[in-house]
Structure 1
Amino acid sequence: MVPDFLLRLREHVGHGLLPLVGVTAVVLDDDGAVLLHRRSDDGRWATPGGILEPGEQPARAVVREVREETGVEVRVERLATVIAQEPYTYPNGDRVQFLDLAFRCRPIGGEPRVDGDESLEVAWFAPEEMPRMAERILERIRHAREREGAPYFPL
């Protein structure tokens, strides 16, 4: 779902390239399973996440996105990756480039559920049973699995 602030911004800049901040949650349970949702926009499995809204703190945004998309409440443990993604053009012609902040999170409540808007399915996956996903998502998961250390960022 496109946030209202972004729709208003698009009224002024049209399809021009917008730099945006995205937040991603890699939610790991005590057994190492990863919480994923199958996105309603493209039908692919992914980690929960979304766009940082004006005035919102990234860690609060990732908690909000996980709750909205999956029904699971999380606690942020640490920043896992900071990656500028390649520019992307949506089917309607809108161009964006995301600076993605991926956070390692732990579930603290709630039950996985489909939100009826952004998620078609929500499920926990053991590391050896994960569905096919984009390499950039798998990279976030790999770095989030590391218990400690500085966030990964490409040079």
Structure 2
Amino acid sequence: MTTSTPPVRDAARAVVLDEDQRVLLLRYDEGGGFWATPGRFLEEGEDHTTATLRELREELGIEEAAVELGVQLAERSEGHLVGGREVRQVERYFLACVSPGDVNPERATQPDNIREYRWWTQDELRSTTETVYPRGLADLIAAVAEGRTPNRPIVLAG
């Protein structure tokens, strides 16, 4: 019996924080609805940093000059369907600091299936009953807010 390994798809995501340590999340309706950080897969020849900045511009209309892009905070690997094919998506999460005034969805060129965006406080993130991806995001943001940025990217659960 032969089993095939799903192809790997690299992705870049941003943990977008403002000066009050609120995190910006996007809401999608798929799979019963969920909130997630901005980002998607890398385009051919693109590195993770470039992809992160591109996604912030495409999804939220944030200009590159307005983003203070920081270190890679985390990584997550998750299998899911893309165009009817199983893939293993490997996501790298980068710290991105922006001012709420720099978010302009009217400038977004590829809002995909985003239903809304919202700034969440740490307390709101910890107490919500809504689905938020990635799991462990609240703890990661709390660590960053306390000045405990990971020395190496941590591994997050699906």
TM exceeding 0.5: yes
Q: Tell me whether 1:34 sits opposite 2:26 in the alignment.
A: no
For 1:153 and 1:127, how far apart are their aligned partners in 2?
Answer: 19
- Residue 60 (structure 1) aligns with: 50
- Residue 141 of structure 1 deviates from its aligned partner by 4.9
Q: Tell me whether 1:22 sits opposite 2:11 in the alignment.
A: yes
One of 134, 137, 149 as aligned partner of 1:137: 134
One of 37, 40, 44 as aligned partner of 1:50: 40
- Residue 100 (structure 1) aligns with: 91
> Given the superposition, is the C-alpha separation of residues 141 and 72 from structure 1 closer, same or farther in structure 2, using an over 3 Å criterion?
farther
Give the share of equivalent positions with the same residue, in percent.
27
> Given the superposition, is the C-alpha separation of residues 35 and 123 from structure 1 closer, same or farther in structure 2, using an over 3 Å criterion?
same
> Given the superposition, is the C-alpha separation of residues 40 and 64 from structure 1 closer, same or farther in structure 2, using an over 3 Å criterion?
farther
For 2:131 and 2:45, how far apart are their aligned partners in 1?
Answer: 31
TM-score (norm 2): 0.72
Decide which moves more: 18-27 or 124-133.
Answer: 124-133
Q: Write the deviation string for residues 103-134 of structure 1: whole angstroms up to 9, x where unpaired.
A: 11101562242655331111211111235224
Equivalent pair of 1:82/1:151 in contact (CA under 8 Å): no
For 1:65 and 1:138, how far apart are their aligned partners in 2?
Answer: 21
For 1:41 and 1:65, how far apart are their aligned partners in 2?
Answer: 19
TM-score (norm 1): 0.73
One of 93, 102, 106 as aligned partner of 1:110: 102
CA-based RMSD of the aligned residues comes to 2.5
Aligned length: 136
- Residue 70 (structure 2) aligns with: 77
For 1:20 and 1:121, how far apart are their aligned partners in 2?
Answer: 26
Equivalent pair of 1:82/1:102 in contact (CA under 8 Å): yes
Equivalent pair of 2:61/2:103 in contact (CA under 8 Å): yes
For 2:138 and 2:93, how far apart are their aligned partners in 1?
Answer: 9
Equivalent pair of 2:11/2:41 in contact (CA under 8 Å): yes
For 1:62 and 1:40, how far apart are their aligned partners in 2?
Answer: 22
Q: Which runs of 5+ in 1 are unaligned?
A: 1-15
Decide which moves more: 104-113 or 45-54.
Answer: 104-113
Q: Which runs of 5+ in 2 are unaligned?
A: none
